[in-house]
Structures are given as C-alpha cells and as structure tokens.
Amino acid sequence: MFCRLAHFFTNQSIEKSFTKIADWLAPGGKIYFIALSPYHYTLREKFLLIFKKRKKTGDQNPGYIDNMREFISKSEDKVPQFMNTFDEDTIEKLINLNTFTIKDLKLFDYTSNNSDGKGFVGLEIEKKI
C-alpha cells in the first residue's frame, strides 16, 4: 500500500517507485495508492483554480506546489514547503499501462474531511500477468 505518501514525492520519484514495485510484485499482485487531491478542503479555495489552469494549458505536473505554506495558513509551521497533488488524470499518466492494469481509480474522502467527496485520489492497480 502506497497510502498518503505520494504527495511528498515528485512525479519522477513516483514513477521510479512504480517501476520498483513492478519488480517486486508477482504477476497479478496489487498495489493500493492514496494521495492528496487539489480538491482537498485545505487547498480548493486557493490552489484548485491554479491546478485547473495548469492542467488546461498542458502542464505535465499541474498539482505540484512548491510554496505549500502560502496555501495553508492553519498549522503553517507543520506543513512542508513542497507538496504534490493529483486527480484521476494526473495520477493515471504516471502508471506504466504496459506493466499494470488499473482496477479502480477515483476521487474520495475520509469521513473526517469536508472536501465534497474529492479530497483524495485512490487507485488500485494490478501487475499484468
């Protein structure tokens, strides 16, 4: 399980991670992935429009935030400077579809969040046989 870690990684690191995971998994093996989305309640007011604009203009990493503390005022000293967010399209582009099959991919929320059911992106992939 790759749960709530990827938003601390660059896209390149995530791609490398999927490559290593593919080496470790047996055919038919699965991995579950959860990461922060730009729709999360802490980001949607100040970052979501930036994300959508970047995505529309073809930015390869529209969810990358190098100044996270500017977007979250609450607990600012505990927030890392860098963060990476994903929606379904942006995470799917990081998956090698020659190696993996996507079994499930969706935005969802934890009950403790108030992100209109879109605060996180969840992914289930399976190594091809």
pLDDT for 116: 87
Q: How large is the average pLDDT for residues 83-94? A: 90
pLDDT for 88: 94
> What pTM was computed for the model?
0.83
Q: Are 85 and 7 contacting, i.e. CB atoms less than 8 angstroms apart?
A: yes
Q: Per-domain residue ranges for the chain?
A: 2-8+32-127
- Identify the band that residue 71 occupies on the pLDDT scale cut at 50, 70 and 90: confident
Across all residues in the chain, what is the average pLDDT? 86
pLDDT above 90: residue 93: no
pLDDT above 60: residue 1: no
pLDDT digits (tens, 9 = 90+) for 14-50: 888 888 888 888 999 999 989 999 999 888 888 999 9
